[in-house]
Amino acid sequence: MKRAFQHRFGFLVVEIGRLYSQQFDRLAREKLGLSQAQCRLLGVLAAHDEDEPVSQAELAQKVGVSAMAVAALSDRMAAAGWIERRPSPHDRRINHLHMKPAARKALERALAISDDLTNDVLAVMTAAERAQLIALLGKARERLLSRAGGGSEEKMP
């Protein structure tokens, strides 16, 4: 018996995420020379309070990748002049990451790419349907966070 997975919540969420990520990654690489992962890292850095620097380990947790992946990503981004590492004044094993001004401009452009892609994808819906979709997905996210014991304090950048 053939199953209709396209009508299952989990399948749809993962599939939409995968397809959206592929499209965004392609556009960001073409227009910015940055991958989706690099844009996400910049987003997390931008959302973090500059007065309390973030370490690579903290970034890995917030981005949802391994510390090794963030280290490699940070190496490439530091070499390209997007971010800089500064040693922690309290622990020499820790590097804090900071965005350079060019990265802030690139992040703004990445957000514009995301907005354009989202507008194109959701153009098949009315404004009310788009608002309802976002609200319903937000509710599903909150429920998943509460099931994981994370509450609603875990905010995405």
The answer to whether residue 2 sits within a structural domain is no
The answer to whether residue 67 sits within a structural domain is yes
Q: Which pLDDT band holds residue 56 (cuts at 50, 70, 90)?
A: confident
Stretch 137-141: mean pLDDT: 96
Q: Which amino acid is at 105?
A: K
The answer to whether residue 58 sits within a structural domain is yes
DSSP string computed for 99-150: E-HHHHHHHHHHHHHHHHHHHHHGGGS-HHHHHHHHHHHHHHHHHHHHHTT-
| Pairing of the two strands 83-87 and 95-99 | antiparallel
Query: How many whole angstroms separate alpha carbon 72 and alpha carbon 118?
Result: 29
The answer to whether residue 136 sits within a structural domain is no
The answer to whether residue 132 sits within a structural domain is no
Measured CA angle at 72 (ends 68, 73), to 5 deg: 115
| CATH number of the domain to which 79 belongs | 1.10.10.10
Domain count, the chain: 1
Measured CA angle at 32 (ends 109, 47), to 5 deg: 50
The answer to pTM > 0.85 is no
The answer to whether residue 151 sits within a structural domain is no
In which domain, by residue range, is 99 found? 10-124
The answer to whether residue 43 sits within a structural domain is yes
The answer to whether residue 130 sits within a structural domain is no
Q: What are phi and psi of 56, to 5 degrees?
A: -60, -35
Predicted pLDDT of residue 157: 47
For residue 48, pLDDT beyond 90: no
